[in-house]
Chain A
Amino acid sequence: MKKLFCAFLLVASASIFTAQAKAQVIVIANPSVKTTEISKNDLKDVFTGAVTALPGGGSVVPILLKAGTVHEEFLQAYIGKNDTAYRAGWRSLVFSGQASMPKSLETDAAVVEFVAHNTGAIGYIGKASPHEGVKVLAVR
């Protein structure tokens, strides 16, 4: 019984540490974006195609990661959908003529590179990835 309890504690602790380790996504934007912070709701609106501009921040263009832990974590934390449902939502907009599919890039470095050189671009990367040339938006 004691062993079982210890095992449970071990698994629970591991889960907590894993969850903490996962909270490693940052939102980045081109320096032209006129804001330093963004609300969770606005972030969701931008990345689901509901809006194409931020309040006081001008036009924005969302940039996605193709796959990976950072991408999954971003969707889980801010969009509330898995990748399949998320992309299906975008395809609905595309096929009904309401939006273009956002650009999806392979790596954090590619996202940083694109965001740094394109006006209004906004993306997300792992916290540990280098991100020179872009601004980090605080998510409220």
Chain B
Amino acid sequence: MRLVVRGLMAGAMLTALTLSICLHAQEFKIGSKEVQVHGFGTQGFIHTNGNNWLTMNTNGVGSGAFTDAGLNLGIQINSKLRIGGQVYDRKLGKLGDWHPLLDWATLDYRPKPWLGFRGGKVKTVLGLFTDTQDMDFANTFALLPQSIYPIDLRDSTIAHLGGDIYGQQKLPHHLGTVVYTAYGGHRSDSMHSGYPYLLSSFGIQLTSLGGPVFGGDFRWRTPVRGLVVGVSRMNEQIKGIGISTIGPGGAPITPPTSYEEHSKHDWTNQYYGQYTANRWHAESEYRRYVRDQMIANGAQESLVDVRGWYVSGGFRVCKWFEAGSYYSHYRNASALGINPNGTVATDFAARDFDKVLAGKVTVNQYMTVKVEGHFMSGFANQPYPNGFYSTVNPNGFVNNTNALVVRTGFSF
């Protein structure tokens, strides 16, 4: 434990050093245009006393395999046109595995406040935080509510290759402002994300996972100062292709056979509200995710029907300290009753109820340190993952898991 603490302190010092170097390299010019350079990074540590969590060996001493970073370049061509891009990389237990991704790269043209266009690889707007979930410095919590923002499944909602139409319009009679985004494109998951990792435990190695996606977001900044409410919808047609190396009963298949799965239905509805006032903020979201997938080359149907919601709040006690708490409620309604292997699922196998207490220290405008406690009931893990994987819990699951999460981050 002492070694881990020392490691974290060394990491924090290294971060501060990197920061001081980076701060001198924020801008350069191409011709007459200024290119802005920004970046962020975090280092986390998780210790649990129940199940191993988020593909890490968090039980016992704990795990520090919880790192991510992003580097961003952007040019404002004129007041209406902007181009930019961002590279993102992470190591989250067995996920990410230091395979850098093009997080987004867009050309953004906004001729009118009520009409703008974005094209390229674009961050997907879905609820309050999908597009900003990596920005640890901006959130009160080290881990956002996992019922809505599962960090292991980040890739499945984070971005699409395609385009957005967006804008905002003030309403007459001081009724506030409406903000809209409509999008369409193609989603493509990393092979180092949660679902491919889950399938690997069944001997299936995916080589591609993705498909067409379209949807929209509509939010209303109400006349009540600080109150925003909104709704998002996302439709997808997801196809996974790969090979299968293990047959029924666990017997190895030689040579491996091809594997395919595809969506019958795949959609998400999300409803949300946020209120901010002075030192307070409060949020709540509800997400229903239905994923009806024909798996095993069409031989079997797998239905996932997730109903997740959370209520969160935070209070800035002083300039450098903020306290927060949330309750996150995840239930896979389709997993209640019969498991895919024919056994009756317990309620714990279909749920994850997470009570969280958190503290955030803002060291300066570039650096934060967060500490939070999670008190979880349940270990929802199949047929779609939510933080708990049998691969890192080979002896089975226990019903309850408590976790200590420490995360430090910088941005410039």
Binding site for B on A (CB under 8 A): 50-53, 55, 59-61, 80, 82-85, 87-89, 91-92, 94-101, 119-120
- The reply to whether B113 and A53 form a contact with Cβ atoms under 8 Å apart is yes
Given known A91-B40, A96-B131, A96-B135, contact A55–B365 (CB-CB < 8 A): no
- The reply to whether A89 and B138 form a contact with Cβ atoms under 8 Å apart is yes
Given known A92-B138, A94-B36, contact A120–B364 (CB-CB < 8 A): no
- The reply to whether A101 and B38 form a contact with Cβ atoms under 8 Å apart is yes
Enumerate chain A residues within 8 angstroms of B112, measured Cβ to Cβ. 53
Q: Which chain A residue shows the least CB distance to B122?
A: A97
Identify which of A50, A55, A91 gathers the most chain B CB atoms within 10 Å of its CB: A91
In the docked arrangement, what's the CA distance between A100 and B81, Å?
A: 11
- The reply to whether A97 and B135 form a contact with Cβ atoms under 8 Å apart is no
- The reply to whether A52 and B74 form a contact with Cβ atoms under 8 Å apart is no
Enumerate chain B residues within 8 angstroms of A119, measured Cβ to Cβ. 79
Interface contacts beyond A84-B362, A84-B365, A95-B72: sample of 8 additional A-B pairs, CB < 8 Å, sorted by A: A51-B168, A53-B112, A82-B319, A88-B365, A91-B135, A94-B72, A95-B38, A100-B76
- The reply to whether B79 and A120 form a contact with Cβ atoms under 8 Å apart is yes
Task: Kindly state whether residue B395 has any CB partner on chain A within 8 Å.
Answer: no
Checking A61, A84, A85, A91 against B38 with a beta-carbon cut-off of 8 angstroms, the contacting residue is A91
Q: Which chain A residue shows the least CB distance to B365?
A: A84
Task: Kindly state whether residue B106 has any CB partner on chain A within 8 Å.
Answer: yes
Task: Kindly state whether residue B137 has any CB partner on chain A within 8 Å.
Answer: yes
- The reply to whether A88 and B113 form a contact with Cβ atoms under 8 Å apart is no
In the docked arrangement, what's the CA distance between A88 and B322, Å?
A: 14
For window 22-44 of B, CB contacts with A under 8 Å fall at 36, 38, 40
> What are 18 pairs between A and B in contact, CB < 8 Å?
A50-B168, A52-B80, A60-B79, A91-B38, A91-B40, A91-B138, A91-B411, A92-B132, A94-B38, A94-B72, A95-B38, A95-B132, A97-B108, A98-B123, A98-B131, A100-B36, A100-B76, A100-B82
Is the interface on chain B under 10, 10 to 19, 20 to 34, or 35 or more residues? 35 or more
In the docked arrangement, what's the CA distance between A94 and B134, Å?
A: 12
Task: Kindly state whether residue B118 has any CB partner on chain A within 8 Å.
Answer: yes
Enumerate chain B residues within 8 angstroms of A59, measured Cβ to Cβ. 79-80
Enumerate chain A residues within 8 angstroms of B38, measured Cβ to Cβ. 91, 94-95, 101
In the docked arrangement, what's the CA distance between A99 and B104, Å?
A: 13
Task: Kindly state whether residue B377 has any CB partner on chain A within 8 Å.
Answer: no
Given known A52-B110, A96-B131, contact A88–B137 (CB-CB < 8 A): yes
- The reply to whether A95 and B79 form a contact with Cβ atoms under 8 Å apart is no
In the docked arrangement, what's the CA distance between A120 and B49, Å?
A: 57
- The reply to whether B132 and A96 form a contact with Cβ atoms under 8 Å apart is yes
Chain B 58-83 near chain A by CB (<8 Å), digits 1 or 0 = 00000000000010101110011010
Q: Which chain B residue shows the least CB distance to A54?
A: B113
Task: Kindly state whether residue B170 has any CB partner on chain A within 8 Å.
Answer: yes
Q: Which chain B residue shows the least CB distance to A101?
A: B36
In the docked arrangement, what's the CA distance between A107 and B364, Å?
A: 21
Given known A53-B113, A92-B138, contact A87–B74 (CB-CB < 8 A): no
In the docked arrangement, what's the CA distance between A98 and B168, Å?
A: 13
Task: Kindly state whether residue B278 has any CB partner on chain A within 8 Å.
Answer: yes
- The reply to whether B84 and A51 form a contact with Cβ atoms under 8 Å apart is no
- The reply to whether A94 and B74 form a contact with Cβ atoms under 8 Å apart is yes
In the docked arrangement, what's the CA distance between A119 and B80, Å?
A: 13
Give chain A nearest CB distance to B164 CB in angstroms: 10
Enumerate chain B residues within 8 angstroms of A55, measured Cβ to Cβ. 170
- The reply to whether B137 and A100 form a contact with Cβ atoms under 8 Å apart is no
Enumerate chain B residues within 8 angstroms of A96, measured Cβ to Cβ. 104, 123, 131-132, 135
- The reply to whether B76 and A95 form a contact with Cβ atoms under 8 Å apart is no
Enumerate chain B residues within 8 angstroms of A101, measured Cβ to Cβ. 36, 38
Chain B 276-288 near chain A by CB (<8 Å), digits 1 or 0 = 0010000000000
